[in-house]
Amino acid sequence: MTMQTHPTGATRTTGQRGKTMLVRHADVLVTMDGERREVRDGGLYIEDHRIVAVGRTAELPDTADEILDMSGHLVIPGLVNTHHHMYQSLTRAIPAAQNAELFGWLTNLYRVWANLTPEMIEISTLTAMAELLLSGCTTSSDHLYIYPNGSRLDDSIVAARRIGMRFHASRGSMSVGQKDGGLPPDSVVESEADILKDTQRLIEAYHDEGRYAMLRVVVAPCSPFSVSRDLMRESAALARHYGVSLHTHLAENVNDIAYSREKFGMTPAEYAEDLGWIGRDVWHAHCVQLDDAGIGLFARTGTGVAHCPCSNMRLASGIAPVKKMRLAGVPVGLGVDGSASNDGAQMIAEVRQALLLQRVGFGPDAMTAREALEIATLGGAKVLNRDDIGALAPGMAADFVSFDLRQPLFAGALHDPVAALVFCAPSQVSTSVIGGKIVVKDGVLTTVDLGPVIERHNRLAKSLYESAA
């Protein structure tokens, strides 16, 4: 028996049953279930961290420990962000990196990032997660591949736990510095033995392989142009020993392809195959220049892609062939990418951008609003190798968000609120629930007092920028 406090203040006694939550009267509830149902006057019944029932309000129980009335709102599964570098929130719109393509952009930023500290990692991760949460994201991966001045992946994990986000923490790395023909300065690369040892430590300390896991660890050397062939192979062996996922950057732009051909004598997809970096437990960021043979390989092996439209546009990398990939059967998720190459970590904005960019490249029927939402929910879940998020159905994690349809930005589009969410200008969420816990209520974060965090973040950003001046 446990005693629980009812929202009205009354204390009630429950049996073995966990805390219950009733979500009701959503104008439309998008399930992303097997039938892609969109339920009018819809709702959810939740016990602890998982969904027990989904349907019309009239079909659900009429009471619970906590009741959320969603009148005037659209409810969707929480969005899944499959690629990010959260520390880059500290280095947005840096003048030296405003107008460069990938390799030039990186070279200009490495010397700034060399001065990052553990405090900066933690606070920038917290800030980036706040931005993601407010824009509809409930699960995010983060790819941290630079560890100067005692920084550790643990600094990001502290932030995720504090804010309450479902998190796939990727232990990135760089081992080939300029003296060995790589792109990063020698001061920010690590020895491969240290990388593998620390990755193993993190998996053993934090990785939760269970259903509804709030935290998973991912093995993630930064890119083929910043680590050795050996480290890619050793990383794959380590990840498979522990059953964790693998993540890196691949085939981002034409220079990336040229580097791969010159250095390895292969296309990026051939190189990935040669290294054992294909399979359902692997996802690659960008793949803008993935060729037809690569698309076929990824489809056959279930290898995932994190599509990052804003970043690809910002760095003029090109238009990823997402329509072609999906037709072939490649799992595709959406990623905002780091804030130094997108400058806006707004998940719902990224959904809209994915739709618009596919149309620029491949015509008006290249992506519908519902397909864009599917990529950002079910697609992301698949890419992260999860079957417990991305849809609202019995047995799934209780991760959902709501948008207030009464805002001016949706006016005139309410005959189709689902399309409105993607076609109209990006909105902030009014509610976000992750694992049955309210993380955003009435548009405000409940877990973190954001004002002081942003102030501290901006002080740190200023000192980081000035340290490299």
Contact positions vs Zn ion (CB under 5 A):
285, 337
Please say which residue, 350 or 371, places its beta carbon nearer to Zn ion. Answer: 350
Please say which residue, 286 or 323, places its beta carbon nearer to Zn ion. Answer: 286
Please say which residue, 86 or 397, places its beta carbon nearer to Zn ion. Answer: 86
DSSP letters along 32-100, please? -STT--EEEEEEEEEETTEEEEEEEGGGS-S--SEEEE-TTEEEEEPEEE----GGGGGGTT-GGGSS-
Please say which residue, 21 or 285, places its beta carbon nearer to Zn ion. Answer: 285
Token readout for 50 is 């998982």
Token readout for 389 is 């998020």
Cβ pair 399, 389 in contact under 8 A:
yes
Please say which residue, 166 or 249, places its beta carbon nearer to Zn ion. Answer: 249
What distance in Å separates the CA atoms of residue 346 and residue 348, rounded to the nearest whole number?
6
Token readout for 155 is 């600094």
Please say which residue, 337 or 399, places its beta carbon nearer to Zn ion. Answer: 337
Three-state SS at 28: strand
Token readout for 360 is 């620029």
Nearest distance in Å: CB 177, Zn ion: 19
What distance in Å separates the CA atoms of residue 318 and residue 358, rounded to the nearest whole number?
11
Nearest distance in Å: CB 286, Zn ion: 7
Nearest distance in Å: CB 92, Zn ion: 15
Q: Residue 424 has what DSSP assignment?
A: S
Please say which residue, 49 or 168, places its beta carbon nearer to Zn ion. Answer: 168
Backbone angles phi, psi at 204, to 5 degrees: -65, -35
Do the bridges between strand 282-286 and strand 50-56 make them parallel or antiparallel, or are there none, so unpaired?
Answer: unpaired
Nearest distance in Å: CB 274, Zn ion: 22
Nearest distance in Å: CB 249, Zn ion: 5
Q: 99: which residues sit within 8 A by CB, 6+ positions away?
A: none
Please say which residue, 65 or 337, places its beta carbon nearer to Zn ion. Answer: 337
Buried-exposed string 56-89: b where 16+ CB fall within 10 A, e elsewhere: ebeebeeebbbbbebebbbbbbbbbbbbbbbbbb
Q: 193: which residues sit within 8 A by CB, 6+ positions away?
A: none
Please say which residue, 337 or 350, places its beta carbon nearer to Zn ion. Answer: 337
∠197-202-203 over CA atoms, to 5°?
100
Q: CA of 200: how far to CAs of 15, 196, 374, in Å?
A: 41, 6, 34
